Structure 1
Amino acid sequence: MNDAASRLPAGRKAEVAAYVNRLGQVTVSALAERFGVSADTIRRDLDQLDSDGQLIRTHGGAMSTSAVPWHDTSLDDRSRLQAAQKDVIGRLTSDLIVDGNVLFINGGTTTLALVPHITERRELIIATNNLSLPPLLNDEICRDLYVIGGHVRISGLVTVGPVSFFSPISDAENEIHVDLAIIGVGAVDTEGPSTSNLDEAAMLGQMARRAQRVAILADTTKHNRRLFASVCDWSHVNYLVTNDRPSGELHEALSDADVEVLVPTHQN
């Protein structure tokens, strides 16, 4: 540890973040001893780093964002990760939406970050498996809202099931027209977007195949990663919406598939 840097709050915070992310999980007392400061000082550092999305504040310590067990981590905890980046992604995605669009929107905190940026949109029709989304919408924004049925995953407040819509009158599945599928995922690499749950991946793949355009939402912490189940390959995707431009092999794969990468203006 650099002794000079440890005496400066900014330098100490950076080192605390790096240390937690290297070890995975650390207690307040261990950090206080490591950095030669009081436990209260470490708690303030951890609160700020949690707010910045650099780690997860836990009872008595902190956890690396990469160590989070996503399958049973609450939506509130996940919403604090990369909050600023998700807001940027939500704003960029909103530019793809016009009045009257029919949308698929899947579950997760990245897609929820879209809501504050579509308050001026009107007459949207939305089909979603995101149980947190309906309370955030109103009848000025959304003309019709359909919730896709299936198994409910409590931790993420999502349903997982087939993307199908049956008419109660004809008792038959209806063909639907969707302008844009907005899909947040856990990872993207040269092969395409992926997620940790096989049934969820199949569901998101159905959303992608039924839509005229597909936007994959993934901040940079999800770049060059691969999870258990593939959603689709890049040939089915029109946009990758992210907070920083991908590089290397991922950039080449997106370019080869003609996927438009949407990033903040200063990244263009």
Structure 2
Amino acid sequence: MEASAPTHRRRLPAGRKADLATYVEQTGQVTVGDLATHFEVSIDTIRRDLDQLDREGVLIRTHGGAVSAASGQLKDRALDVRLRMQTEEKERIARLASNLVEDGSVIMLNAGTTTLAVARALRNHRDLTIATNNLRIPAEIAPSAFRDLYVFGGAVRAITQATTGPVTFTMTPGGPDVDIRCDLAIIAVGAVDESGYSTSNLGDAAMMSEMIQRADRTAILADSSKFDRRLFAQVTGLERADFFVTNTPPTPRLLAALAQADVEVITP
């Protein structure tokens, strides 16, 4: 019996699929145009390929291109990309961190998608005073959760949708800074190893460090992709945190270092 004509394939040809995934992982960030030129196919074909690989979790689709989904690549990424990375892990961490917050307390939250998840997890809290440099939090946190919400001024980093500057407020223009304190600083970091907590930007590191200095207690947040890594700017040593909140137990070496620094590790 004669075989019928082949139907339109819904999956990528195996060779191009593997090559495309490898190319994106090695390059880190690519555009549709670059990929079309590199693989000598149409832009529409590349768009379909990227959509399929995004659905399979091989890469992360962005406007006009894609970035690698490899957890080992700890480069600065735009917020819309990072919002789609390790989402389940961040939600677990956020729920644990929210349990450390007492109604009526004063908290500071730094920039990042994990602290944004914390803000959403605070929906059942009441009478909080919140200070943050995360420009997305005012729109995402439940209005019933807070009594007062303050956003630190400074230069805006578009890639993180956050401000970078001093952790201070003034009552009047040109007046003296108000000395502020908080009960708990909730700080998401980009990496953690035996030397401490780090991030990729100097301004962010300075702001995070100052939040920690102004807090009675500090909870550091990091998912397992951040373990045993070191980024450009050191935030502080391990011992400056009271809690380390993560989605899975740290590696034995990191766990021993946290224990030595008297940091309580909180996992699901």
Q: TM-score range by the shorter chain?
A: 0.7 to 0.9
Instruction: Extract unaligned runs of 5+ from structure 1.
Output: 1-8
Instruction: Extract unaligned runs of 5+ from structure 2.
Output: 1-10
Question: Residues 68, 217 of structure 1: CA spacing in aligned structure 2 closer, same or farther, 3 A cutoff?
Answer: closer
Letter in 2 for 1:83: T
Tell me by how many angstroms 1:90 deviates.
0.8
Question: Residues 117, 28 of structure 1: CA spacing in aligned structure 2 closer, same or farther, 3 A cutoff?
Answer: farther
| SS state at 1:140 partner | helix
* Matched residue, 1:184: 188
Question: Residues 44, 136 of structure 1: CA spacing in aligned structure 2 closer, same or farther, 3 A cutoff?
Answer: closer
- Higher deviation after alignment, 117-126 or 196-205: 196-205
Query: Normalising to structure 2: TM-score of the pair?
Result: 0.79
In 2, the alpha carbon distance for the partners of 1:41 and 1:148 equals: 42
Letter in 2 for 1:142: F
Question: Match for 2:243 among 215, 239, 245?
Answer: 239
Question: Residues 59, 175 of structure 1: CA spacing in aligned structure 2 closer, same or farther, 3 A cutoff?
Answer: closer
Letter in 2 for 1:135: A
1:64-112 Cα shifts (integer Å, max 9, x gaps): 2345741xx3211110111111111111111111110100001111110
Conserved? CA contact 2:120–2:141, under 8 Å: no
* Matched residue, 1:48: 55
Letter in 2 for 1:48: R
Question: Residues 112, 190 of structure 1: CA spacing in aligned structure 2 closer, same or farther, 3 A cutoff?
Answer: same
Conserved? CA contact 1:28–1:60, under 8 Å: no
In 2, the alpha carbon distance for the partners of 1:256 and 1:55 equals: 38
| SS state at 1:113 partner | helix
In 2, the alpha carbon distance for the partners of 1:59 and 1:159 equals: 24
1:137 corresponds to 2:141: yes
In 2, the alpha carbon distance for the partners of 1:170 and 1:59 equals: 42
Conserved? CA contact 1:102–1:180, under 8 Å: yes
Question: Residues 171, 60 of structure 1: CA spacing in aligned structure 2 closer, same or farther, 3 A cutoff?
Answer: closer
In 1, the alpha carbon distance for the partners of 2:47 and 2:210 equals: 50
Query: Normalising to structure 1: TM-score of the pair?
Result: 0.79
* Matched residue, 1:5: none
Question: Residues 172, 222 of structure 1: CA spacing in aligned structure 2 closer, same or farther, 3 A cutoff?
Answer: same
Letter in 2 for 1:47: D
RMSD: 3.1
1:228 corresponds to 2:232: yes
* Matched residue, 2:109: 105
Question: Match for 2:84 among 75, 80, 84?
Answer: 80
Question: Residues 133, 224 of structure 1: CA spacing in aligned structure 2 closer, same or farther, 3 A cutoff?
Answer: same
